[in-house]
Amino acid sequence: MSKIELLSPAGNLEKLKIAFAYGADAVYGGVSHFSLRIRSGKEFTMETFKEGIDYAHSLGKKVYVTINGFPFNSQIELLKKHIVNIAALEPDALIVATPGVVQLCNELAPGIPIHLSTQANVMNYLDAKVYYDMGVRRIIAAREISLLDVKDIKKQIPDLEIEIFVHGSMCFAYSGRCLVSAVQMGRVPNRGSCANDCRFEYTLYAGNDEHGTLFRLEEEQGIGTYIFNAKDMNLASHVKEIYDSGAVDSIKIEGRTKSPYYAAVTAYAYSMALKDCEANEFVAQKYQDELNTTKNRGFTDAYLVHKPFDKNDTQNYDYALSAGSYEVTGFVLENESYFMCKYKVYPNDEIEIFAPLNSIIEEVNNEIGSIYKKDDGKFYIKFNKIITESEKELESVHSGNTNPIKLPGKLPYMTMLRTKSDLPNEQTSCL
């Protein structure tokens, strides 16, 4: 069986490099408002996006470009120029959402594969065949699709690649086709500027126009008022089923606007899961333990292996703030001898080392501190002294401090130092 591609989000150049370092085979991202994540689209310029594409190709990996917004008539000419400019960067595919933009890409960027965005809501082989005949080489199936339907599409159109989401934010609307943000905030979700109104806490009222009464509905204690808030998708425990289906070509992680740590952990966990499938050593709890360290809204395994009406755990009514079991304490710089503090570090704190895949870490013990391996198979670091690049000794270091801090020994670039969070953690198991 051919290897399934692991596709990670690349919200900026740093996260692109991190995703590859921690196991991604390909990344997706965009430039400008034609991408469905305007905030992340603004993180890339054409120059840095080209740098990212060249970096990926130097590793033998791929970059797919999001041009999956829904353009208005007034934007068509600008869109044409954008497609031509993006094509000149030589990406590995264009991700688009509408038949008209598919046609434009065929005309203006011949030779670059076209991937159909999840926003097109493909759920059956009839729709998939229409897009395939138009020149689409891969469909990114709707998040609401079942694995049985994925297998049916693959059976009907074996040459069509199928990509499915396995992790990240979910929408209370069908495949993100929502107007709540547009109505309330004037920010159009299907053109990249969703205000995430579904994540807000709402107070409910009941009224009667006939006699002008209006009263507040009191919520039961502990139930909450996050009435639209969806939990995050987490299909790590089902990767073996996906792998064994033989129908999925790529598994996709959502989250271009999420943190570098999220990019690292999700790539690492799902890469491990895929490799363990190949070795017939799949252990779901191992991947869940890693994923639970990330900030999330609670987890659900969504609809791939369950019908929507069978599910009653996809909404989080209690809180919208993400919870995570770990905080990122530091990020190792390119010189591999210093790190930047991202949280707080005190002398004698035991801090876990979370390093890119296949990293070689040497144990050391000196006046600055020690790097050592424990019985759990993980490496840790402990500082005797906190010394800046300018040789100044500090009592402690906190986020916001812009001075690189010396390591006791070298650690691979993009290694993250992490500690257990002081905050309560409220994850939902996806086993």
CATH code of the domain containing 364 = 2.40.30.10
CA-angle at 265, arms to 254 and 234, nearest 5°? 50
In a domain, 246, yes or no: yes
Q: Which residue has the tokens 């939902």?
A: 428
Supply the pLDDT for residue 334.
Answer: 97
Is the same domain home to 243 and 386?
no
- d(Cα 357, Cα 293) in Å, to the nearest integer? 17
DSSP SS3 for 269: helix
Is the same domain home to 17 and 149?
yes
Is the same domain home to 41 and 80?
yes
Is the same domain home to 90 and 170?
yes
Provide the 8-state DSSP code for 112. Answer: S
User: What are the tens digits of pLDDT across the range 323-347?
Assistant: 678 999 999 999 999 999 999 999 9
Domain that holds residue 34: 5-175+231-310
Supply the pLDDT for residue 41.
Answer: 47
- The answer, yes or no, to whether residue 228 has pLDDT greater than 90, is no
Is the same domain home to 306 and 332?
no
Q: Which residue has the tokens 């609307």?
A: 173
Domain-ending residue, one of 282, 310, 338: 310
DSSP SS3 for 384: coil
Domain-ending residue, one of 285, 310, 335: 310
Helix (H) or strand (E) holding 245: helix 239-245
Number of structural domains the chain divides into: 2
213-216 and 205-208 beta bridge pairing: antiparallel
CB 9 within 8 A of CB 28: yes
For 31, the token pair is 């430039």
Supply the pLDDT for residue 427.
Answer: 45
Q: What CATH number should be reported for the domain holding residue 149?
A: 3.20.20.70
User: What are the tens digits of pLDDT across the range 74-94?
Assistant: 999 999 999 999 999 999 999
- The answer, yes or no, to whether residue 426 has pLDDT greater than 80, is no
- The answer, yes or no, to whether residue 370 has pLDDT greater than 60, is yes
Is the same domain home to 358 and 332?
yes
In a domain, 207, yes or no: no
Is the same domain home to 345 and 301?
no
Is the same domain home to 305 and 331?
no
In a domain, 283, yes or no: yes
Supply the pLDDT for residue 172.
Answer: 67
In a domain, 210, yes or no: no
Supply the pLDDT for residue 88.
Answer: 97
Helix (H) or strand (E) holding 289: helix 284-291
In a domain, 184, yes or no: no
In a domain, 217, yes or no: no
User: What are the tens digits of pLDDT across the range 150-206?
Assistant: 999 999 999 999 999 999 987 766 666 666 766 777 666 665 567 677 777 777 778
Supply the pLDDT for residue 200.
Answer: 75
Buried b (16+ CB within 10 A) or exposed e, 202-218: eeeeeeeeeeeeeeeee
In a domain, 222, yes or no: no
Under the banding of pLDDT at 50, 70 and 90, the label for residue 1 is very low
Supply the pLDDT for residue 429.
Answer: 46
Mean pLDDT of the chain: 89
- The answer, yes or no, to whether residue 398 has pLDDT greater than 80, is yes
Buried b (16+ CB within 10 A) or exposed e, 389-409: eeeeebeebeeebebbbbbbb
Percent of the chain at pLDDT exceeding 90: 68
Supply the pLDDT for residue 177.
Answer: 66
Q: How many CB atoms lie within 10 A of CB 278?
A: 12
Is the same domain home to 154 and 283?
yes
- d(Cα 352, Cα 326) in Å, to the nearest integer? 10
Domain-ending residue, one of 281, 310, 339: 310
- The answer, yes or no, to whether residue 428 has pLDDT greater than 50, is no
- d(Cα 48, Cα 37) in Å, to the nearest integer? 17
Is the same domain home to 124 and 260?
yes
Is the same domain home to 296 and 333?
no
Is the same domain home to 243 and 355?
no
